[in-house]
Amino acid sequence: MKKPSPESLAEDARYAGRLAEALILLASDHAAQHRLSEAAVVGAFCWVVGRIVGAAARAGRGELEQLLGFLVVQVRHAAVSEMSRRDFTLH
């Protein structure tokens, strides 16, 4: 398999960030409209990610444990990044 170029990786990261922001907005709106708890929203995202990881493993795009390990690193990175962001609420 050919290694992706740095430019291609940067473009993927940019579009992945946009997708993540769009999913957060969609989930926030849906959760507010249906009065879902934070736990319900987190559970829904876990279910979706689990299905994606399981499908990738089933299709031979990695071993399940390796994919889950990658997922843990990504979730930890996102959580630490979010914790360090400033909250820009208007008072």
Are 31 and 44 found together in one domain? Answer: no
The whole-chain average pLDDT of the chain stands at 92
Are 24 and 48 found together in one domain? Answer: no
Residue 83 confidence (pLDDT) above 60: yes
Contact 69, 76 (CB under 8 A): no
Which residues lie below 8 Å from residue 30, measured CB to CB, with a gap of 6+? 36
The residue range of the domain holding 50 is 37-91
Are 24 and 60 found together in one domain? Answer: no
Are 28 and 56 found together in one domain? Answer: no
Domains identified in the chain, total number: 2
Are 44 and 76 found together in one domain? Answer: yes
Confidence band (pLDDT; 50, 70, 90) for 8? confident
Are 26 and 53 found together in one domain? Answer: no
Residue of higher predicted confidence among 51 and 85: 51
Radius of gyration for the chain, computed over Cα atoms and rounded to the nearest angstrom: 16
Confidence band (pLDDT; 50, 70, 90) for 7? confident
Residue of higher predicted confidence among 2 and 52: 52
E strands, the chain, where?
none
Are 71 and 90 found together in one domain? Answer: yes
The angle, 0 to 180 degrees and rounded to 10, between the axes of the packed helices 38-58 and 6-33 is 140
Token pair 């736990």: residue? 39
Neighbours of 49 (CB within 10 A): 13
Entry pTM? 0.77
Are 24 and 59 found together in one domain? Answer: no
Are 22 and 54 found together in one domain? Answer: no
Are 82 and 48 found together in one domain? Answer: yes
